[in-house]
Structure 1
Amino acid sequence: MVGPAEKLAAMKLIMGREIDTPLTTKGTKLTWARIVVTKDKILGKSLRELALVEARGVTVSRINRAGVELPAQASSSLAFGDIVTVVGSKPDIDAVALELGNEHARLQEVQFPALFFGIALGVILGSIPLAVPGLSAPLKLGLAGGPLMAAIVLGRLGHWGPFTWYMPPAANHALREFGIVLFLAVVGIVAGDRFFDTLLHGDGIVWMGYGILITLLPLLIVGVIARVFGRFNYLSLCGVLAGSMTDPPALAFAVSMSKTGAASVAYVSVYPLVMFLRILAPQILILILAGAGAGTF
């Protein structure tokens, strides 16, 4: 049986005791294989709709999506790039492989039309004014929040019409690293011409000290609380802290310490909310302060 530990413990109470028997398909007609989902007509369909057990006699034991193992349930829907582990006879597994696609070459293709459609949609969403009662002017997500919102929605959707939102791991890694390099380069270019002058003259050292305290103290407090009371592991904690600061270089450092995706998963869990707050909170504060200032005259 395959499933969460607590569910397996419950099934032992229902079915009987656990046995320590080697699991093998040797000497039987059964075998197992991993099949990649690449057929467009399969995307979004649930295992119940595919009826692989009834039609082919093949059982799906688990689904691997972006490196995360998911339990195979009747309501589980398939997405492009999913790796499903199937058990059955060799001819039946071959037939299921043709039905699901199993075209590994398609996993290396970058879906540029879908990518540019998502960027265009993000620009449109970022330009839409959001009227909030009590504020004198509408808010906007801008070029940072709009594409982020579009990416979240389209990533959850997975596919629509001719578009499939899937990024090969190599391309994803390359674009992510390239984006971090561009971000740091722009920061350096903007601050470079007056960095040393600000640092060596006036209150530059004092402001750097304030910046260190403002950055370090919240990290230490949140880190200790999350570690002691939340029982966060170190990599997930690094991802959460990097996401709370929307700090891609910190994420890159955390990812480099391990081959697992724990830091990245924690990062993306908090990053969208923090980014929206960073975009909207300054606009709200400016409008509130502007309104309060206008009311004093």
Structure 2
Amino acid sequence: MFTIVLDFLVAHQLVTILVVLALGAMLGQIKFGPLRFGAAGALFMGLVVGTLDPRLGQGLASVKALGVVLFCYTVGLSAGSTFLSDLKRQWTLMVAAIVGLVVMAGAAIGLGRLFGLSSAHIAGLYAGVLTSPAIDAAQSATQGAGDTLVGYAISYPVGVVVAMIVVSMIATRKWPAKKDNTSMAEAGLTSVSTVVDRETTIRHTPGFTADQIRMSYLLRDGEMRLARPDDDLHIGDQVLVVGNPNDVDKAVKHLGHRSRKRLTDDRNTVDFRRFLVSNPLLVGRRLGDIDVRGRTSGKVTRVRRGDLDMLANDDIILQPGDRVLVVVPANRLSDAADLFGDSEARVSQVDALSLGLGAAMGLVLGAILVALPGGLKFELGAAAGPLVMGMILGAVHRTGPLRWDLPHATNNILRQIGLMIFLACVGLASGQAFISQALTWHGLAVVIVSAVSLILGGVILLAAARWLQLSAQRATGGFAGFVGQPAILGYANTLVNDERIESAYGALFALGTVVKIVMVQVIALL
């Protein structure tokens, strides 16, 4: 009976992958102390199932590539929208990552030689513990030596477990981060009805010209209307101030005091509602370039993207699926709905043209082979190529009629599907190599060298982030990108909602991939 089931699974690979995904989802929900493996459960169940028969891990290269392309491209799109603005904060962290990766390679070589590991073992474990597409470069540099895949298969899960433990210790921490920006997700937004106690103007209110606050409602002499940027404010006026709590408090202190009346309770003449951005003509455009006031006589005060509520400013690029909070005269709500689209059906449709074209361009970028001095070769591969292309297109947003951004929910779904497929295939393909030497002296040596070198590199990166006064959350994203493990990013996002995590992940993943590809070839030559 067992043989029949095994032969069936070998003959029907999609069934095998789906079974691994289901079992991995069950394992991913079990808590092991502070850890819950989540999507990484597919990797460990893949390793278990892969040990049953070597045929189960054969012929999965294309399916695995599809998974990693979907994951990396969608992460790139998300990270690309903030990468350029965050670059001035992150370049020092990127330098620290290069130092950490080089030190890791040196530690792996030194410890590996001490434990009697071959250059192929060391090159494979370096690529494996860092979850790197550099395994292709490592196999090429070692002429396909079997020890390379053994080192990769054993160190891969070691990297996942060690990195998850580190992330569980760092992700929710608070330490001094004067050189980092405040997380929009962490700060949140609030609105305060305020009584004006002094003659002033809206433009002179602290935070207004810096796009840190917005004002919408204005109550004067019993009449409600929309506040305008050029309005003078008189004693006795009441205005609604919107922004993060600290900025709103500063504005309220400047203007006067909090009102006992909530201006938003009066919706007879001025009303508000959230509208779904589904109009393709608005996607990829700056909010400041859209004539909201002219089209609706209103203004946008907030933009909600996934679980992140952002204060509306002119530089926000609208993406499909965003929910904009618009304050308008009560009789103009229908005009606002027409402007933004507000159609669930339209926004749920995947733009297959831009998705397929963008991912394909990423694969082409990853396939470009560059010759380096000393006989070394370099290519980004099927992971970093789509990631870099996604970051480029995520920063561009649109090219003529092509809209590169995906709705937030669609992006998350594709990302999760791609991640689980990739991890399941890696587990199935590595199961035999893992079980063959996991319990041998060489296997134990690979585990020790992998864990020690990763901890050493991680300490360098995290210590640098702390010293540079970057937030623990940016450090967490940077560490996930440094390791290069997609499951670590997913795990970090389950612990804390912070847009800085993905921004740092995207930057260090792309940079780290370049460094790793070069380093495995150097290791193989020693």
If the TM-score is normalised by the length of the shorter chain, which range does it land in? 0.7 to 0.9
CA contact (8 A) 1:58 1:86 kept: yes
> Which digits, 9 at most, give the CA deviation of each residue in 1:103-159, with x for residues without a partner?
121221111111110012112222345577x66666432322221111112122223
CA contact (8 A) 2:306 2:409 kept: no
- Equivalent position amino acid for 2:415 in 1: R
CA contact (8 A) 1:243 1:266 kept: no
Structure 1: segments with no counterpart, 5+ residues:
none
Separation in structure 2 between the aligned mates of residue 170 and residue 76 of structure 1, nearest angstrom: 19
Q: 1:130 to 1:73 in 2, by over 3 A?
A: same
* Residue 80 (str. 1) matches residue 285 (str. 2): no
Q: 1:202 aligns with which of 441, 451, 454?
A: 441
Q: 2:422 aligns with which of 177, 180, 183?
A: 183
Q: 1:162 to 1:75 in 2, by over 3 A?
A: closer
- Higher mean displacement: 98-107 or 4-13: 4-13
> Which digits, 9 at most, give the CA deviation of each residue in 1:69-121, with x for residues without a partner?
22223444433222110112232121121022111212211111111100121
Q: 1:19 to 1:157 in 2, by over 3 A?
A: same
Q: 1:176 to 1:232 in 2, by over 3 A?
A: same
Separation in structure 1 between the aligned mates of residue 443 and residue 388 of structure 2, nearest angstrom: 37
Report the equivalent of 2:348.
108
Separation in structure 2 between the aligned mates of residue 16 and residue 135 of structure 1, nearest angstrom: 69
CA contact (8 A) 1:39 1:99 kept: yes
TM-score (norm 2): 0.47
- Higher mean displacement: 241-250 or 5-14: 5-14
Q: 2:503 aligns with which of 260, 265, 269?
A: 269
Report the equivalent of 2:515.
281
1:281 deviates by 1.7
- Equivalent position amino acid for 2:396 in 1: L
Separation in structure 2 between the aligned mates of residue 201 and residue 142 of structure 1, nearest angstrom: 32
* Residue 212 (str. 1) matches residue 451 (str. 2): yes
Q: 1:174 to 1:156 in 2, by over 3 A?
A: same
- Equivalent position amino acid for 1:36 in 2: L
Secondary structure of 1:121's counterpart equals helix
Separation in structure 2 between the aligned mates of residue 273 and residue 42 of structure 1, nearest angstrom: 28
Q: 1:135 to 1:36 in 2, by over 3 A?
A: farther
Report the equivalent of 2:334.
94
Asked which structure has the greater RCO (Cα within 8 Å, sep 6+), the reply is 2
Report the equivalent of 1:151.
390
Q: 1:140 to 1:207 in 2, by over 3 A?
A: closer
TM-score (norm 1): 0.78
Q: 1:95 to 1:256 in 2, by over 3 A?
A: same
Separation in structure 1 between the aligned mates of residue 317 and residue 489 of structure 2, nearest angstrom: 30
Report the equivalent of 1:68.
308
> Which digits, 9 at most, give the CA deviation of each residue in 1:241-268, with x for residues without a partner?
33331222233333445xx633xx3442
Number of paired residues? 286
- Higher mean displacement: 62-71 or 33-42: 62-71
Separation in structure 2 between the aligned mates of residue 220 and residue 287 of structure 1, nearest angstrom: 24
* Residue 121 (str. 1) matches residue 361 (str. 2): yes
- Equivalent position amino acid for 1:273 in 2: A
Q: 1:245 aligns with which of 471, 474, 483?
A: 483
